[in-house]
């Protein structure tokens, strides 16, 4: 279980991230803590061209039904593609994704 933490609304079943007190969809207070299995798909991607090099910034749709910003690593930033299957792993404090 290496994916990001999220909440599941026990009333409307919405996946909620980041953490909230109230479900943003239905307003319920009943949000249960869960952890994603870490499987997802790249929703969009950009390569940031910084002075000290290039790196990927991606939006990843987790299979549980929420989206986070992250980085796809292990491939050249420009080779990250929308629709690519990715798998989460810990990178220090961060969660990053490998292409699968």
Binding site for another protein (CB under 8 A): 17-18, 43-50, 55, 57, 59, 67-71, 78, 82-83, 93-94
Say if CB 61 and CB 68 are below 8 A apart.
no
In the complex with another protein, which residue's Cβ is closer, 17 or 39?
A: 17
Shortest distance, position 11 Cβ to another protein, whole Å: 20
In the complex with another protein, which residue's Cβ is closer, 10 or 44?
A: 44
C-alpha 91 chain-centroid distance: 14
Say if CB 7 and CB 25 are below 8 A apart.
no
In the complex with another protein, which residue's Cβ is closer, 78 or 85?
A: 78
Which helix (H) or strand (E) segment holds residue 80: the answer is: none
Shortest distance, position 70 Cβ to another protein, whole Å: 6
What is d(CA 66, CA 60) in angstroms, rounded to the nearest whole number?
8
């Amino acid at each position: 279980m290496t994916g990001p933490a999220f909440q599941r609304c026990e009333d409307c079943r919405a996946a909620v991230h980041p953490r909230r007190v109230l479900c943003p969809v239905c307003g319920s207070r009943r949000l249960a803590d869960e952890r994603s299995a870490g499987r997802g798909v790249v929703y969009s991607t950009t390569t940031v061209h910084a002075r000290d090099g290039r790196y990927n910034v991606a939006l990843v749709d987790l299979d549980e039904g929420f989206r986070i910003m992250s980085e796809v690593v292990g491939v050249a930033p420009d080779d990250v593609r929308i629709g690519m299957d990715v798998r989460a792993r810990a990178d220090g404090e961060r969660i990053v994704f490998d292409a699968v």
